[in-house]
Amino acid sequence: MHALDQDDDLADFEPREITIDDVTRRVWVAGRGPGVIVMTEMPGISPEVARFARWVRDAGFTVWMPSLFGRDGAVPEADEGAAIFRRTCIAATFRAVATGGPGAVTAWLRGLARIAHQACGGPGVGAIGMCFTGNYALSMMLEPAVLAPVLCQPSLPLDAPAAIESPPEELAAVRARLDRENLTVLAYRFAGDAVCRAERFAAYERALGDRFQPRTLPDTAARREGLSPFFARHVPTPHSVVTAHLIDEAGQPTLAARDEILAFFADRLA
């Protein structure tokens, strides 16, 4: 068991430098079985994000966890995390406001999904995005290898709570694929989340119909004690369903959400 209040050295993952379209990123890989892309929430691969990746690994999958921002394995500190957030918001690769669609990082992630599928075999790969990367899992559905997308508290665009980060043509292509291949999208949020609000899930439902399967957890299900300095200072409402605000105890709704996600991957990727 890795302590959540200490930096995680990720020693049980293999770091790989992967270049796609002339962009090289470190990807932490662990496990055996079908591939699952685990995309970190802001401000980086925290001990809680790594814990979730290990749960995916231990459920019989190969985790591919790309380093997208922040210090890998670090406990999210308040000031450092805020600085990472500001830098990422204005980076050309990422887009945090309603400017017409996700940045170039989603194309890179689709390439990673192809690599993971080629390496791991099976019918395809899963993808889970969280917070800043939440909608990336949906954009990755433009890659045929991605069969099991999960959106945890998708938070972009920050300035338009009722909008979806994907442009209309992308949503139409994803919806057509979901219908054609009888696929679904799982999505999670807390009822009182001030960033990923009910209006955003309503927008996804309008765009994707019954292919979008939302789950809204009560605020009482969120962990409140022992949060990292970043979450304690900058995230005042319940937000991170399977990481920072998850309560790792039997019978807890957040743990049930984790188990549903793992079962979703098993069903789609077996």
Tokens of 160: 């338009």
Residues with Cβ within 8 Å of 145's Cβ and at least 6 positions away in sequence, in order, are: 113, 114, 116, 117, 124, 125
How distant, in Å, are the alpha carbons of 87, 156, 163, 225 from that of 160?
20, 8, 5, 30
Peptide bond just before 161 cis, omega within 30 deg:
no
Percent of the chain clearing pLDDT 90 (strictly above): 88
pLDDT of the residue at 87: 84
Q: What is the pLDDT of residues 126-162, one digit of tens each?
A: 999 999 999 999 999 999 999 999 999 999 998 899 9
pLDDT of the residue at 103: 64
Task: Find the farthest-apart pair of alpha carbons in the chain and give their distance in angstroms, rounded.
Answer: 46
**DSSP letter for each residue of 154-196:** ---STT-TT--SS-HHHHHHHHHHHHHHT--EEEEEETT-SSS
